[in-house]
């Protein structure tokens, strides 16, 4: 991957990373969008979408609720989408490795968000007196500083992850010794398990929801059979 390829991806990771919490939270940071955009930047939107769909299945399980700690899917999806889009071929193992890297980067990204929040807390504590005096400059400054820090976080995470994961993935692919069908089956099976459990956990408490889900599964299978 050249610098010309890296720069737009890093910028995409930064902007989408910002969307997770800071600005504007319109969910361009969701895997299904972020990975597709990364793939599109590299001329392979369909491959980006494929990995985006799988990561979206995992992301269904994690709710971005306020102070809770959750994975950061945006930069992770940009990295995973790029890995799949830049792989020499869409052969065995590529999808599996892209999803694995995406999950790991999402974990690290979640940790990096916590660090940004700690820095924000430190800055807010240092400027508490000025805020208590009603200083507009300080109130706006804290906001702009927090936004900038989050933007840098997304860029750094995307850059480091791409620099580490791209050569590592290519090296592992050279030794890959399992069929494409089995490789796909494992990763798709895992994603579907997590997504099914997530849908259940989210909605089962509502009266009748389990029957709605069961009806949906039957309808989905019927639709598949007649297509």
Partner 1 sequence: MTMALPFGTRAAIFLRLLAIQGSWNYETLLGNGIGFCLEPALRRLPGGRDGAAYREALARQSQYFNAHPYMAAAAVGALARAELDGEPPERIIRFRTALCGPLGSVGDRLVWASWLPLCSIVALGAFGLGAGAVGTVLIFLALYNLGHFGLRLWALQAGYTHGLRVAAALGSPVLRNGPTILARTGALLGGLSLPLVLDRIIGPGRAVFGVVLLAATVGGVLLARLHGRVEGWKIAIGILACFVLYAVIR
Cβ burial of 224 (10 Å; 0-12, 13-18, 19+) is: exposed
The CB-of-109 to partner 1 minimum distance in angstroms stands at 12
Here the tokens at position 165 are: 């994961």
- Taking residue 126's Cβ as centre, other Cβ atoms within 10 Å add up to 11
The nearer residue to partner 1, 163 or 210, going by C-beta atoms, is: 210
35 CB-near residues (< 8 Å, 6+ apart) = 48, 49, 51, 52, 55, 77, 78, 80, 81, 84, 102
Whether the Cβ atoms of residue 59 and residue 31 lie closer than 8 Å to each other: yes
**6/117 with CB nearer partner 1:** 117
Q: Which is nearer to partner 1, 6 or 27 (CB)?
A: 27
């Amino acid at each position: 991957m050249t610098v010309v390829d890296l720069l737009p991806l890093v910028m995409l990771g930064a902007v989408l990373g910002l969307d997770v919490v800071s600005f504007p939270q319109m969910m361009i940071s969701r895997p299904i969008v972020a990975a597709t955009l990364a793939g599109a930047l590299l001329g392979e939107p369909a491959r980006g979408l494929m990995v985006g769909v799988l990561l979206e299945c995992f992301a269904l399980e994690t709710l971005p609720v306020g102070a809770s700690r959750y994975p950061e899917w945006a930069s992770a999806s940009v990295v995973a989408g790029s890995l799949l889009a830049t792989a020499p071929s869409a052969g065995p193992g590529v999808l599996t490795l892209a999803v694995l890297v995406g999950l790991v980067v999402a974990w690290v990204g979640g940790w990096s968000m916590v660090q940004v929040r700690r820095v924000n807390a430190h800055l807010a504590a240092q400027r508490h007196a000025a805020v208590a005096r009603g200083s507009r400059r300080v109130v706006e400054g804290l906001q702009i500083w927090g936004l900038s820090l989050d933007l840098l976080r997304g860029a750094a995470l995307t850059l480091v992850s791409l620099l580490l994961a791209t050569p590592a993935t290519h090296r592992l692919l050279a030794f890959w010794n399992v069929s494409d069908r089995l490789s796909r089956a494992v990763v798709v099976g895992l994603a579907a398990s997590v997504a099914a459990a997530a849908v259940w956990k989210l909605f089962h408490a509502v009266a009748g929801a389990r029957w709605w889900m069961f009806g949906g599964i039957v309808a989905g299978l019927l639709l598949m059979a007649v297509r």
